[in-house]
Amino acid sequence: MHVYEAEETINQYIYALGIGTNGGIVRPISLLKSSSKQLVLSAYKIYMAYMIKHPILEKEQFKELMKCLLFINQFVPDREAKRINKIHQKRLAKKRVSSLDKKFYDDFIELYATNQVDSFKLHDEVGDYINRLNPLDHNSPYYCVTAYKLANVKYKPEYEVDFSSKLFK
């Protein structure tokens, strides 16, 4: 994954967050286009590794970008998102919900609470990754390969070009 690909994936993710839930509580995974939650997580790591070497984000921008990661588990399969959001809207409107839908919703909410805890873990995982990169020599010829290795993202020597220059302003 090139740094520009990581940035595109993150931009796509943030755009999907910006669309909102349309009165629901979850988002359809199709909003991520060709991405997956794992790809978004990997993109965050690679992008942050680049930002450590070429710090162009203000502290507040960095914080906001990291906060966005907390919503990763709001993306669920499309059919499930549609059903959950429909049931949620009925409940808010105090409309009748079938016992089957009520059970489906309650089971989902229980799982969703666990997934939100996982979102915090993923956020912390990226934070830990950053903390592991910070003390490294960012000018070392091994910085890039180490960043990819720590991110569990396949490394290619061509990625060195990304890290050796300032791509963003």
The 10s digit of each residue's pLDDT in 20-65 is: 777 889 999 999 887 788 899 999 999 999 998 888 778 888 889 8
Please state, in angstroms and rounded to a whole number, the distance separating the CA atoms of residues 67 and 60: 10
pLDDT given for residue 168 in this prediction: 57
Give the Å distances, CA to CA, from 134 to 31, 106, 128: 33, 42, 10
Phi-psi region of 23 (alpha: psi -120 to 50; beta: other; left: phi over 0): left
Helices (runs of H) and strands (runs of E) counted in the chain: 7, 2
Please state, in angstroms and rounded to a whole number, the distance separating the CA atoms of residues 98 and 101: 5
How many Cα atoms within 13 Å fall on the side-chain side of residue 95? 8
